[in-house]
Structure 1
Amino acid sequence: MTESWEARAREKREAVLALISKEWRIENPPVDKQVDVTGKYVQQFLTEREVEVTETTAEEIVKYTASGQWHAEEVTRAFCHRAALAHQLLHCLHEIFFDAAIADAKALDEYYAKHKKPIGPLHGLPVSLKDQFHVKGVETTMGYVGWIGTFEGKTGTGKEKVFESEMVRELRNSGAVMFCKTAVPHTLMTGETVNNIIGYTLNPKNRNLSCGGSSGGEGALIGIRGSPMGFGTDIGGSIRIPAGFNGLYGIRPSGGRMPYEGMANSMDGQNSVLSVVGPLATSIPSLRLAIKALLAQKPWLHDPLVHEIPWRDEQEREIHELTGGVASDTNKTGKLSFGVFRTDGLCNPQPPIRRAMDIMVEALQNLGHEMIEWKPPMYKALHDEGMKTWDFDGGTDVKADFALSGEPMSDQVKRFASLDKEYSASEIAGINVKLRRLKKEYMEYWNSSEQLTSTGRPVDAIISPLAPFPAARRNMYKYIGYSTWVNFLDYTSVVVPVTNVDKSVDKVDEGYQPIDETDKLVQESYDPEIYDGAHVSLQLVGRRLQEERMLAIAEYVAKAIGK
């Protein structure tokens, strides 16, 4: 390439910004003076009707659009406007295709006018996508300068701007309107979102903090209500971290539940710990709506890795019976039991996270549910073995993508530059065996909790931090163990917002004795003044392929804590 990577990145960045119409431009976007750009701040640039539409949850929007009360075009235009504002404030979009989205929305309105029925369960719902999804007519860069103008870094494939991911096809068939693709960190392998094309993506509630990663653009966009629902991916926390940092609900399904076919990825072919796709939204019913709509498309017929498991109402019904959601004629005890995972012993949570744990535990205990201390003895071994899987190729894949343009790695992912060992087939097989044995040990530990409960069942879910902090400060995401253990076990996890940081309550621990240098860095990064007002969230973890059950539990817990 004769053109510098800086010039290519600047051209791409400016081309995306140029797609925002002049009437949607913010004349002087704030730099440092405005920390929180949610709520009234962003509302000032919108009409009352646009505020009403964009602050309606996804499942409520569909009720209006599927009944003809709201037009898909009006809804789409409103979210395009708010997304345009979001990008100017937060740097959260990689691709804008508002015109195509509005055309799709008009076609949906025409269909409804003619047939008096919706196309599908997501009729007229704007949906944002992490920039791993391929959409016809739209580029996919995944944050790499070298991918600009190519198909995943290659030219002449015939797929440039014509190929679509399987889930995009299914979303279209369900009546959804795709309108933008959101920012990711190059490599996808960090809990912050930064790349050389658009820079650093900010947290809309507190722009001193990260929006999370790697689905960080999704978290930021939905957090400022620039999208009602979007899809991210998760190989080490990349759905849950942005959901938690931005006060959203998000689900990490188990592998094989949702279609991943045809998406761009890093280290594709590393199958020991699979990346999975799932939704982020502003309510649990929105997550349920998304998963039910996609499963209705029978993705197992088009993605060879998807299990043939349609939506299971019985799993939800069981939780409703146990919690009083519906009348029960069974002999169930009528309560739940939870494992409480306060610390993994390797890095302790900061004060706001500990307070959130107390809030959730106390609320559930007051409702009569049981709490069991959760200390799986195999946790460190699981952590140590699982972390090796991301280094199997010695960084070959991501190094090659950086080499396409000569761009540098951000500080958050520069560890890949120092990798020099590729694991042999025998070494990979050995780690896979160790991981399988550790999964078995964890399974039996969970089974053994039946002896500690009065329900006659093992614990129903684990209450856990998803990070040691409410959100990371820039370049300070120093520990990822609270999210990755879920991936190593392939468990189902749902994020629930709990509270906000209160500097008058969440004080620094004076005299704290750190476990090690990592724990020291994490604890020292907490400053109540900087964090004041930030979202504080937790995750509820269930066993493999328990998506319906865990959504029902999470919805119950959210109501129990007043959410």
Structure 2
Amino acid sequence: MDWKDLAAAKRSAVNALIPEAWKLPTPIPSSSEQKDVTGKYIQQFLSPKEIEITETDAVGIVKNTTTGAWKAQEVIEAFCHCAALAHQLLNCLHEIFFDAAIADAKRADEYFATHGKPLGPLHGLPVSLKDQFHVKDVETTMGYVGWIGTFEGVKGTGKEKTFESEMVKELRSLGAILFCKTSVPHTLMSGETVNNIISYTWNPKNRYLASGGSSGGEGALIGVKGSPVGFGTDIGGSIRIPAAFCGLYGLRPSSGRLPYEGMANSMDGQNSILSVVGPLATSVGALRLVVKGILSTDPWLHDPLVAEIPWRDEHEKVVLDIVKDGSGGQLCFGIMRNDGVIHPQPPLKRALDIVVKTIEKLGHKVIEWSPPSHKEGLEVAFKTWIYDGAADVQAAFALSGEPMATQISSVYGTSQPQFTASQIAANNVAKRQFQKSYMEYWNSTASLTGTARPVDAVISPVAPFPAARPDMKKFLYKDGEKAKRVMPGYTTWVNLLDYSTAVLPVTICDKTVDVKDTAFKGFSDEDERVNEAYDPELYDGAHVAVQVVGRKFQEEKVLALAEILGDALGKHVA
């Protein structure tokens, strides 16, 4: 079959799994007719009970399902309904397995009725998954037409629809109910989610904008309350970008904290910067809940790359003791107002100011963050993604003959020289040297904080814009100019350093406040174009977020810090 026919057949097969009663009237309203589909808009299609359930975060859901106050079946049915609506509005699902999820929920309810106790700490909790996870009886395409009907592009392996990723097994053992897999950009290497199967995944708060990538389907789905919590992956920002664009909390853990075993990936075997798996959700509590759950299964016994680090309550307690002991103890944050490469647009500048004022109002301190050159670090990081000269991704496209989206082809569309072993080794040395210099800079801030400690975390933009505009590349590069990267590097430095990082929603764009800077002077032509791409009218109402960056394996600490700041920001009126 022609790739177009294969893609159309797959798309139709997925859409056919939406029950007739859950289908929206056609035609679906355009973005100009309905820009924001969150909140009351999508709720008009849900029952009062479904609204109550979908507006409850994962912590609240588990509180109800593990005590028998809510049935697992009624919870999963509510989220399946909302997810079906979300997909019709946003193109956010690759795979639907609602029937299997409802059957799993019924079994969970039967277990509870028989034994008087939950299956596990995530009993009855709906969890969505990025389409890198392998789930029994469900296909994994990762957005590639050539992967349809195969196992990662290969036919006849015996693993098709039978193999499950390690974390899938662990989630099931905890009592979670898996119900859908979400959209990704083919290759995974884009801050926008686009492929030839489902087309483009839109931002639920502002459907003129991108949901982010590569975990863009997760961001869109959770952003419209079609899932209470889901898992994405992050090699250059792919959890944090969708979380930020869609107004969510997200966690990028250090590599080796959570299991990645048995997941599909691009450029598998590139080990200079590892992709990591982490959650996105509507609350910090939800992130903590699922991470603690996964770690309780001893994943280091089943994934050779996972470090034996159980959840450490004491790392949270250290932060909480500083904040709550009444002795005047202070936290100190470094504020990165720009990365020396690209300036953030006006809404991001305001968000940083809001966070600084919030920190100071809480009685804590801030210092300006002036680290080693991010430009030099990014040059090291971006080399890792082209070690093989684009051979892996081009082979995946060759399976069907489908074209690359322009967001991808700007970097991977032409074959490039492959790195030699010596060149890879040299880049790894450069990475280690950058990590060392950044470590020593962070250590040196102990003399500036007034707390006798280095800064507790760094506050930084996630991207220079609140969300990407469709095909953001065309705003960053001139016609015919080769793209330097798939997205500006406000997230990638974290991957290079392998730091633990949480996304913190701050505010929304306001066209009357976030006016364009007409006197802007940039670091480069690319920087100037980012500023030019800002349109106050277009961005009005979009989410604005920052990231809270801790050091390696400080997941507990960054979640505690994000929760403290998030609670304070919840009382803030922008």
Map Cα deviations across residues 55-77 of structure 1 (whole Å, 9 max, x no partner).
10001000000001100000000
Structure 2 counterpart of 1:4, one-letter code? D
Which of residues 338, 347, 356 is equivalent to 1:352?
347
Map Cα deviations across residues 86-119 of structure 1 (whole Å, 9 max, x no partner).
0000000000000000000000000000000001
Alignment of structure 1 residues 102-141 onto 2, 5 Å: 102-141=102-141
Q: Is the 8 A contact 1:378 1:441 kept in 2?
A: no
Structure 2 match to 1:100: 100
Map Cα deviations across residues 148-192 of structure 1 (whole Å, 9 max, x no partner).
000000001000000000000000000000000000000000100
Structure 1 match to 2:526: 518
Comparing 71-80 with 479-488, greater Cα deviation is found at 479-488
Q: Is the 8 A contact 2:372 2:437 kept in 1?
A: no
- Report the Cα offset of residue 380 of structure 1: 1.9
Structure 2 counterpart of 1:483, one-letter code? T
Structure 2 match to 1:426: 422
Unmatched 5+ stretches in structure 1: none
Query: Sequence identity, in percent?
Result: 63
Structure 2 match to 1:342: 337
Matches of 1:24 and 1:377 in 2, distance apart? 53
Matches of 1:22 and 1:562 in 2, distance apart? 39
Q: Tell me, what secondary structure is at the counterpart of 1:10?
A: helix
Q: Tell me, what secondary structure is at the counterpart of 1:293?
A: helix
Q: Tell me, what secondary structure is at the counterpart of 1:482?
A: coil
TM-score, L = length of structure 2: 0.96
Q: Does 1:545 align with 2:556?
A: no
Matches of 1:346 and 1:292 in 2, distance apart? 37
Structure 2 match to 1:31: 30
Q: Does 1:394 align with 2:389?
A: yes
Alignment of structure 1 residues 323-334 onto 2, 5 Å: 323-324=323-324, 327=325, 334=329
Matches of 1:314 and 1:556 in 2, distance apart? 16
Matches of 2:448 and 2:212 in 1, distance apart? 36
Matches of 2:552 and 2:355 in 1, distance apart? 23
Which of residues 362, 366, 369 is equivalent to 1:374?
369
Structure 2 match to 1:469: 465
Which of residues 482, 493, 500 is equivalent to 1:492?
500
- Report the Cα offset of residue 386 of structure 1: 1.1
Structure 2 counterpart of 1:42, one-letter code? I
Map Cα deviations across residues 24-80 of structure 1 (whole Å, 9 max, x no partner).
000121123110001111011110110110110001000000001100000000000
Structure 1 counterpart of 2:431, one-letter code? L
- Report the Cα offset of residue 514 of structure 1: 2.6
Which of residues 394, 407, 413 is equivalent to 1:417?
413
- The runs of 4+ residues in structure 1 deviating greater than 6 Å are none
Alignment of structure 1 residues 138-149 onto 2, 5 Å: 138-149=138-149
Q: Is the 8 A contact 1:333 1:455 kept in 2?
A: no
Structure 2 match to 1:4: 2
Q: Tell me, what secondary structure is at the counterpart of 1:236?
A: coil
Which of residues 510, 515, 531 is equivalent to 1:507?
515
- Report the Cα offset of residue 510 of structure 1: 1.0
Matches of 2:372 and 2:395 in 1, distance apart? 39
Q: Is the 8 A contact 1:337 1:370 kept in 2?
A: yes
Matches of 1:381 and 1:341 in 2, distance apart? 17
Structure 2 match to 1:445: 441
Matches of 1:386 and 1:372 in 2, distance apart? 27
Map Cα deviations across residues 377-432 of structure 1 (whole Å, 9 max, x no partner).
23221111111000000000000000000000000000202241100001000100
Unmatched 5+ stretches in structure 2: 477-486
Q: Tell me, what secondary structure is at the counterpart of 1:418?
A: coil
Matches of 1:429 and 1:89 in 2, distance apart? 46
Q: Is the 8 A contact 1:476 1:522 kept in 2?
A: no
Compute the RMSD of aligned alpha carbons.
Answer: 0.9
TM-score, L = length of structure 1: 0.98
Matches of 2:391 and 2:19 in 1, distance apart? 40
Which of residues 13, 19, 23 is equivalent to 1:15?
13
Structure 1 match to 2:301: 301
Structure 1 match to 2:480: none
Q: Tell me, what secondary structure is at the counterpart of 2:459?
A: strand
- Report the Cα offset of residue 333 of structure 1: 5.8
Structure 2 counterpart of 1:108, one-letter code? A
Matches of 2:317 and 2:38 in 1, distance apart? 36
Alignment of structure 1 residues 170-181 onto 2, 5 Å: 170-181=170-181
Alignment of structure 1 residues 127-206 onto 2, 5 Å: 127-206=127-206
Q: Tell me, what secondary structure is at the counterpart of 1:118?
A: coil
Aligned length: 556
Comparing 505-514 with 42-51, greater Cα deviation is found at 505-514
Matches of 1:128 and 1:480 in 2, distance apart? 28
Map Cα deviations across residues 215-242 of structure 1 (whole Å, 9 max, x no partner).
0000000000000000000000000000
Q: Is the 8 A contact 1:210 1:245 kept in 2?
A: yes
- Report the Cα offset of residue 370 of structure 1: 1.1
